[in-house]
Amino acid sequence: MGEITVCLPTGARATFTAGSSIAEMLQTLDPVLAREAVAARLDGSLVDLSRVPENNAVLEVVSLGSPEGLEVLRHSTAHLMAAAVARLFPSAKFGIGPAIEDGFYYDFDLNEPISDTDLTRIEEVMQALVAQDIPFQRKVLSRDKAKELFAAQGEHLKLELLGEITEEEVSVYQLGDFVDLCRGPHLPSTGKIRAFKLLSVAGAYWRGSEKNKMLQRLYGTAFPSKEALEAYLFKLEEARRRDHRRLGRELDLYSIQEEAGPGLILWHPKGALVRRLIEDFWKDEHHRAGYQLLYTPHIARLDVWRQSGHWEFYRENMFAPMEVEGIDYELKPMNCPFHILIYRSQTRSYRDLPIRWAELGTVYRFERSGVLHGLLRVRGFTQDDAHIFCRPDQLEGEIFGVLDLTLFILRAFGFEEYEIFLSTRPEKCVGSPANWELAEAALQQALEKRTLHYKVDPGEGVFYGPKIDVKIKDVLGRAWQCTTIQVDFNLPERFDLKYAGEDGKLHQPIMIHRAILGSLERFLGILIEHYAGALPAWLAPVQVRVLPVADRHHSYADEIY
């Protein structure tokens, strides 16, 4: 047999007989790392420890405490849960079971409903499988052999997935009697799964399409230690205690009623007062920052949305058009085309720029009923929107101004921790690559000059431009998307916006789209949960009560009040 040389990033290197597994190699290269490893990177590709390298390679250890290791743990626990379901519900057919943020899920096609009480039974079988320390065994099959295997088991969902795979070979993983179609990687064995909890069961359409059958989705989570799991479960319980839907009802702030329609908020007097206080503060600070306020309609001719590109790129999130006197009109999903039309209503000079216009504009977006969630996901909401029209030489300064105003306003509401993302050009977009590069560079430079730590989020820009997204962190450490700052060369071009330059020639302005709080509805939901309903005094709908202790004190109490 031949030999291969394998090295670690630490510089450790050794030569092995061909046929050795990564686990065996790590024992020789670094026994301490070998104990920590749950998976590895083989020349950059994430693989199981049972994988056998065929050529000289660089190995990187993936430990349970790393983000990748945590994902492997949760993916493996999803398979463990599926194996337990297979034992308890022999008629079950299996969909997919990925790791997700904070946990995992698996979709099942079952003839009988799984209830919350069944979760305890499934957990007990999972614990028994953990105690048996059963290996996750990877096997490579031809696509046809895999089809034969899953056809014999009546796994129609797996066969559908196989029908979309173009590779000639696929991998399956066996865990005891349970076999699953999966790319992996997985833990070496079930004994590595130390702390898990099944959380809930819900309905989910197969492949996310309501045209398909409704499956049962079991959610769970897993952590490297029981202490980490307990801390997470405490946070979940605390989040339930702070749920804005319950607190909003108890505090009489708002309601959502079937007669009006799902996803549409009815503000009660106390909630309307809190909202007014937020709006007044927002308006005052925008006036100080040199913005002027606008008001625009709730509908416009469909042609406006065609020209802006929304109808082409955003149609699935828009309501169906309505016909008025033979002309199609559309509920606005965005405010920007109206601000553009106001800009275009007269000739602009370079001396007029920058123009900063802000609007608390109510917009309407079609959200499927299954994703609606209190104030956080709605169909009608008010956006704290603003658009800046500026010259190229003003762009950097305007981005600085938006960043400064953003951090000031968010801090005023008690948010001091943030995650900042720079979202770059998506696959489906408009405008020239040169303009995209210029816009991305302007946003990046502004972040770096303000020494704000950020991560690049490739391909997550909007169709007309790149953006900065600011996610605030609440008291439980949860991140919430609020602020977005977008540089746009494309809509000014689509609407042929111009200004007269100092050279007497016409030039195209640059447009900055930005929202700081995002949706007022969503922001208030975040505030309620952040403060567990006990809003700061300046936002509280009831700040003080005067309580007389006897009838003879009423007149004095009225005076104090």
Which active-site residues does the annotation give? Answer: 336, 365, 383, 385, 387, 467, 513
Half-sphere exposure of 273 (CA within 13 A, CB side): 13
Nearest Cα to Cα of residue 83 among 72, 74, 73, 94: 94
Distances 557 to 323, 519, 541, 542, 543 between C-alpha atoms, Å: 58, 40, 20, 17, 16
Q: Which residue has the tokens 């567990």?
A: 532
DSSP E strand stretches across 280-341: 292-293, 299-301, 322-324, 327-331
Structure tokens at 180: 């699953």
Contact 254, 541 (CB under 8 A): no
162, containing H or E segment: helix 156-162
Amino acid at 62: V
How far apart are alpha carbons 17 and 33 in whole angstroms? 21
- DSSP states of 406-417 as a string? HHHHHHHTT---
Cβ–Cβ under 8 Å, residues 514 and 470: no
Report how far Cα 414 is from the mean position of its chain's Cα atoms. Answer: 22
Cα separations in angstroms, 391 against 343, 351, 396, 424, 495:
14, 10, 10, 22, 17
Rounded CA-CA distance 23/11 in Å is: 18
**534 forms bridges with which residues in the sheet?**
none
Residues 6+ apart with CB under 8 A from 311: 302, 305, 318, 330
Cα–Cα nearest to 447, from 491, 406, 500:
406
SS3 452: coil
Describe the chain by its helix, strand, coil percentages, rounded to 5. Answer: 35, 30, 35
Helix (H) or strand (E) holding 418: strand 418-423
Partners of residue 358 on adjacent β-strands: 293, 386
Q: Which of 33, 31, 45 is nearest to 185 (CA)?
A: 45
Residues with Cβ within 8 Å of 445's Cβ and at least 6 positions away in sequence, in order, are 396
For 56-100, the DSSP string reads -EEEEEEETTSHHHHHHHHHHHHHHHHHHHHHH-TT-EE----EE
